[in-house]
């Protein structure tokens, strides 16, 4: 059986993950929506594919020039707020990047093709509130936990896309942490419904849990 390998991560026996890799690598798809339960590999597959494309010098239709990866996540906690966090913006935001660090470390352990610490230094990690006014060229944007984003924030991010740039929006509607948004009523999927008619937009839903056999079962059973 054929499968795709990106930075040592393979999509063997997971056709939905393979489709996600293909969509990200497809230069005609500038915006990709990816949904799936916790543990289905949304972030690690996206990060691995983006790293591979930057390493190969191929992304967004541009070859041979150095590209960049942006990691964007709304700084929202699950349940109670952490309250005031000391330090500058980078220090405050660092607590929300543990998932990215974990995925980079997992990639390093899986294929030993990357150095997690060095790759993290190359990725620009910013909250969506700092996107206004920017124009981003020759880059891959990974928007994690997108189920928590408002329509205004999604519009702000997606209208930053310049030449040879693509955005990957990742989210699980079972894990919304924002009041007044639900699995069936959220701006993440509403934005996709508004954009899905365009040829430059792709969509894939990941099904198979790579974290554990019970993870997806629990995610569905306890979803509100």
For residue range 208-220, what is the model confidence (pLDDT) as tens digits?
A: 887 777 877 787 7
What pLDDT, on a 0 to 100 scale, did the predictor assign at position 80? Answer: 47
Q: Which of 182, 191, 184, 183 is nearest to 151 (CA)?
A: 191
Q: If you count DSSP H runs as helices and E runs as strands, how many of each does the chain have, helices first?
A: 8, 10
Lowest mean pLDDT among 55-59, 72-76, 139-143: 55-59
The span from the CA of 40 to the CA of 24, in Å, is 17
The span from the CA of 43 to the CA of 103, in Å, is 7
What backbone phi and psi angles, to 5 degrees, belong to 69?
-115, 135
CA distances from 156 to 21, 132, 169 (A): 25, 6, 13
What pLDDT, on a 0 to 100 scale, did the predictor assign at position 2? Answer: 60
The span from the CA of 48 to the CA of 38, in Å, is 18
Contact 91, 72 (CB under 8 A): no
Query: pTM of this prediction?
Result: 0.89
DSSP label of 182: B
| % of the chain with per-residue pLDDT over 90 | 58
CA 16-18-19 angle, to 5 degrees, is 65
Q: Which helix (H) or strand (E) covers residue 53, if one does?
A: helix 42-56
| Residue range 24-37, pLDDT digits in tens | 999 999 999 999 99
CATH T-level topology, domain 5-9+32-77+84-221: Rossmann fold (3.40.50)
Which residues does 54 contact at the CB level (< 8 Å), separation at least 6? 66, 67, 68, 69, 140
- Give the start-to-end residue ranges of the domains of the chain: 5-9+32-77+84-221
Burial of 101 (0-12, 13-18, 19+ CB in 10 A): middle
Look at the alpha carbons of 16, 21, 26, 27 in this order and tell me if their dihedral is positive or negative: positive
Q: How far is CA 140 from the centre of its chain?
A: 10
The span from the CA of 40 to the CA of 206, in Å, is 6
- In this predicted structure, the answer to whether residue 59 has a pLDDT above a threshold of 70 is no
Beta carbons within 10 angstroms of residue 51's beta carbon = 22
């Amino acid at each position: 059986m054929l499968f795709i390998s990106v930075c040592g991560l393979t999509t063997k026996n997971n056709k939905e993950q393979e489709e996600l890799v293909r969509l990200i690598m497809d230069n005609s798809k500038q915006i990709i929506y990816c949904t799936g339960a916790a543990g289905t590999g949304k972030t690690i597959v996206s990060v691995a594919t983006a790293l591979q494309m930057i390493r190969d010098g191929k992304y967004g239709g541009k070859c041979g020039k150095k590209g960049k990866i942006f990691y964007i996540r709304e700084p929202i906690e699950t349940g109670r707020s952490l309250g005031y966090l000391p330090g500058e913006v980078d220090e405050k935001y660092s607590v929300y990047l543990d998932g990215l660090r974990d995925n980079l470390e997992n990639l390093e352990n899986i294929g030993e093709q990357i150095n997690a610490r060095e790759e993290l230094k190359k990725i620009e990690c910013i909250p969506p509130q700092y996107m206004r006014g920017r124009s981003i060229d020759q880059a891959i944007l990974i928007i994690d936990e997108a189920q928590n984003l408002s329509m205004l924030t999604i519009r702000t991010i997606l209208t930053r896309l310049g030449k040879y740039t693509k955005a990957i929006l990742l989210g699980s509607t079972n894990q919304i942490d924002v009041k007044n948004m639900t699995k069936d009523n959220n701006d993440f999927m509403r934005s996709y419904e508004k954009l899905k008619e365009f040829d430059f937009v792709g969509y894939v839903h990941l099904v198979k849990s790579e974290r554990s056999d019970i993870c997806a079962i629990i995610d569905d059973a306890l979803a509100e």
